[in-house]
Each structure stands twice: as structure tokens, then as C-alpha cells.
Amino acid sequence: MLLIKDIFSKGLIILAIFSLGLTGCGASNETSNETGGTGTLNLRITDSPFLIDLIEEATVTISKISIHVSDSPEVTSGFITLTLDQPKTFDLLKLQGGVTDSLISASIPAGTYKQIRLFVDSASVKLDGGVVFPLEIPSGSQSGIKIFPKPSIIVDGGLTTDLVLDFDVSRSFTPIPASSTKASDISEFKFHPVVRVVNSSSAGSISGTILSDNGTQGDASDDMQFEGAAITAFEGTVEVSTAFSQTNGSYVLPFLPEGTYNVTASHTSHDSSTETGIIVVVGNNTGGVDFTLPKQ
């Protein structure tokens, strides 16, 4: 379940993956009460959007998931392994803008879960032109990629909650050499997993439109929709999530925990712009967070 036109002008491949849906098992907040019994765990996968002109495919193949229960009225503490009927391969580039795909559905005991391990059999990046880079995944298929939810997941029998794992490939995948500006310059990719965990039952989203002023600041008559600008949400100084504007200039930052954010829009050819104090409310989209970027 687990799992450039210009690679770095648009960010590194965010194969930012993983929407992990915990349904029925009540994977809720630490304030929940354990009621015993079992719940149904639905795991879903998503890609935190990364707009890439030179990437054709970004795939991961997942064979199993382990979750660690630390406190349960049903079972003793330890890892519970959820094995897929057969390994599943996902093209992460097809999972953008909050789109998810199902990974597994399983019943698990009620209790407190403090660690998730994702076992990845293989992963690869295919560039335009057909060149494929198999990726080495540290511990991905042996001990699994370790993810620590904060707060811990509380599973209450019979309840339904969605948990999202956002595998941020924009920070996890590094092309070699890092200064590459075209596909033919890339000799390999290095992989250092960065994964955030979001309880989507306590999350919302931010959306808006990015325009380019085309070098005429103060004159909106020639402003154009800007594709490929990076939009990043910060909680204080901590980067939470990144998205990229689409052909029509629109963007969505999905799966953001409830809170207040500063949002920055940027591109290597334009000056960046920041909006502060953007409030995200559970279950709602905060729209109209728009930017017009000055051309350098």
C-alpha cells in the first residue's frame, strides 16, 4: 500500500501517496473510548499531487501492512499483519487532487495503534521516452516503512473513520544529479521516505486559483491561468502539504488537519506570494485562496 518540460521548476515527483481509510475500526482520535470487539479497516491510497511533465508513470507495489497495537481489550500488544490476496501496483500519477484507490479492507481488534509499517515489494519511475528507474526502498520489503501516527489511532468497534497516509515524494525522491533540468540528465533517483498521517475525519482542504501577471503588475487585463505553480501549506514554520496548479490554474490542498495555515504559491520563473491565517475547518473546503504571481 504503499507504494520533469523542467523537473525542478515544478517540484520533485510528489508521488505523495497514500490515503489510508480506516473505516469501521473507528481509527479516531486519542479521546475516543475503546468499546471492544472489532472494526473494519479500509486502507486507501492517494498521491499528494505533483505536476510532472517529464514523468510518465510512478508506481509502487505493496504486499502487506503491519499495524502495532499497544493497548487493547481484545488482544495482547504486538503487530497485526494484514496481507493482501496478491500484491497491488498503483500508478501514483493517476491519484492526484484527493483521488484515492482501495488497498485493503480487514477487521482488526479494538485498541490503540501507534505504528504502521508499509511493505513495498517494488517501486519505479518511468520518464517520458520510456526510460524506467527501479527504486531501492530502504527496509521497504524487509521491516517495512515505519509510520508513527500522531495522535495514536484509537479503534472503537463498529465506528468509521478515515486515516490518510500522505507519502510526500516531492521530498522523498531525489534525482541524481539534483541539478537536472531534463529527463536525459537524470542517472538515478534516491529514495528517502517522508510520510505524514492525517485523520480525514478531522481534516478539511484549501483551494483556489493561481494566475501569472505576465510581467505587468497592477494590470489584470493580461493575467493568465498559471499551470505548474507549487502551493504549500505551512503550520507555523512546518511544511504540511504541497500541491501544484492545474492547466486552468486551479489547485486543491486536500487532507489538511483542522487548524490555521500560511499558504505560499511559488515557481522558479515568478516571485512567490504568501497568504497567512487561512483557517481549515473539519469537513469543509476553504476556497478562494487565490494568488497572482509577479513574473521575474
| pLDDT in the model for residue 232 | 92
**pLDDT computed for residue 153 by the predictor:** 83
CA distances 176 to 183, 186, 199, Å, are 11, 6, 34
168 contacts 46 by C-beta, under 8 angstroms: no
- Helix-then-strand count for the chain, H and E: 1, 21
**Of 206, 194, 205, which Cα lies nearest the Cα of 274?**
206
Looking at residue 4, its pLDDT comes to: 31
Burial state string for 171-181 with b = 16 or more CB within 10 A and e = fewer than 16 = bbbebeeeebe
Q: For residue 115, what pLDDT is reported?
A: 92
Q: For residues 74 and 194, what is the distance between their CA atoms, to the nearest angstrom?
A: 32
> For residue 222, with 0-12 CB atoms within 10 Å meaning exposed, 13-18 middle and 19 or more buried, which class applies?
exposed
The structure's pTM equals 0.72
Instruction: Give residue 182's Cα distance to chain centre.
Output: 25
Contacts of 86 (CB under 8 A, 6+ apart): none
**111-126 per-position pLDDT tens digit:** 899 999 989 888 888 8
CB 250 within 8 A of CB 271: no
C-alpha cell at 277: 491565517
143/189 Cα distance (integer angstroms): 22
Q: Is 283 left (phi over 0), alpha (psi -120 to 50) or beta?
A: left
pLDDT lower than 70: segments of the chain: 1-35, 40-54, 96-97, 139-141, 160-161, 168-171, 173, 178-181
Contacts of 100 (CB under 8 A, 6+ apart): 19, 21, 44, 45, 46
